[in-house]
Each structure stands twice: as C-alpha cells, then as structure tokens.
Amino acid sequence: MGDYRYSFSGADARLFAYAVGPNGQTLGNIAFLESAHTISISVHEPKGQARALGFKGIKGFARSIRTIAGSLIMTVIEDNPLMPLLKAIEGRPTPIAWSVDAGTAGVGSASDRFNFWNRLATQLPPFNLLANYVSEGAKFNDIDEDGEPDQVDSLSWLLEGVEIIDSGVVTSVNDIVTEVAYSFIARDFKEIAQQPPRLSRISVPVLSSDQGRHAQLMDSLFGEN
C-alpha cells in the first residue's frame, strides 16, 4: 500500500503564545494555551480598479494598505484562559500604553474578600501566536535512544505582534462551559506552511500521551534551545 495523504483539524493543533519586546526579543517563557479552541484570522488588502476611457474591462489594480485581524475563543478552565501567558511574562517589563489609571484599571479587590490581579487583556503587551499541527496520520522517523520519535512532519502558522482590542465573557445557564472571546489585530501573518522533519528543540507542558505525536516548537523559529 502506498503512502496516504492527510489533512489537519483543530484537534491536531497546539497553540503557543510568547510576548515580544519593542526590538522583537522574547519576553519570558513560551506559554501553551491549552484552553484555546477556536481562532479565526483574516487578511484584508483592498485593491482599487484601474480603468481607461473606452475600455469596459479593467486595465489593472492599485494595491493598498493591509489589515490583519481575527478572533480567539477560549474556555475558562480553573482560571483566566490567558493565565499561561500572564505567568510567562510575570515580573518582566512589558511595554503598554501609559494612562493615569494604568495601575488601577482592571485590578484591585472587592469587599476585602476577592482579589483581582489579572490585567485587562487589552493591556497585554504585543505577543506572538504560533499554531503547530501534527495529524494522527503523520509519519514519524528516526527513533532515538529513548525509543521516542526524533523527527516529524508538521504544519505551522505564525501571527506576529498580536494586540487584543476586544474582550468579552459569556456565562449562561444554557451553556455547559464559560467562554472568553477576544478580537485582535496583528502586525504580520506567516502563512500556513509545512515544516520539514527536524529535531524538536523546546519542551512544553502538554499531556505525556501527546509528547510523541505533536511536534514541539520549531528550532527554525526560536533557534536552538
């Protein structure tokens, strides 16, 4: 039987986030967003029609500015769904827009009983989102000395400079879970691309049963670890 082909679904994906500084340097650790279940990305680039007198058809197109935006929906599992990212950048200087109430808006306490220390999502510094896919039909190669697959074919895309502009939470007796929805804009989008077999460099906190099936972050993106 010859080789078979396969596709990818959200169940094959792992979503990672890491904050970036003004010079593009990584701030803190790389966070695995385990509660993310839906993400959409749109790239909009309006193009004007160039016409000439006497011609019904279009002579060409004029290109314009580009907008990259989308939405991310996450399930509340025990804590704030962005907690892995918040912990990854905890204690590190994060460039956010200055305001008089920057130290009080979104944080504080209520009735001396409840403490709220998580920042509003819109106050997060720019961060990157990396999705890495490995289908259950992927081929594993080169078993290492520990009996684990050393290389794997995978698919990835990367959003750079993500800025959250909207955040909303819905809790209802008609829903079995509580979801938080975010809208974002981004500076750049690295299109879906197949990643060739390469050594896995970075370990992330995923289920042990997934360690062999899912490729970790590519060293081509983060360098050798």
Domain range annotation of the chain:
12-46+60-222
- DSSP-assigned letters across all residues of 53-117: TT-SS--EEEE---EEEEEEEEE-BSB-TTHHHHHHTTTS-------TTTTTTT-EEETTTEEE-
**What is the number of other CB atoms lying within 10 angstroms of the CB of residue 126?**
20
Query: Sign of dihedral through CA atoms 197, 186, 128, 23?
Result: positive
- The pTM of the full predicted model, rounded to 2 decimals, is 0.74
pLDDT at 18 over 80: yes
pLDDT digits (tens, 9 = 90+) for 173-201: 998 999 999 999 999 999 988 776 543 33
pLDDT digits (tens, 9 = 90+) for 127-173: 899 998 877 665 555 455 555 554 556 788 999 989 999 999 989 99
Cα(5)–Cα(153) distance, integer angstroms: 12
Q: What is the per-residue pLDDT for 134?
A: 79
Q: What is the per-residue pLDDT for 220?
A: 38
* The two structure tokens encoding residue 4: 């078979």
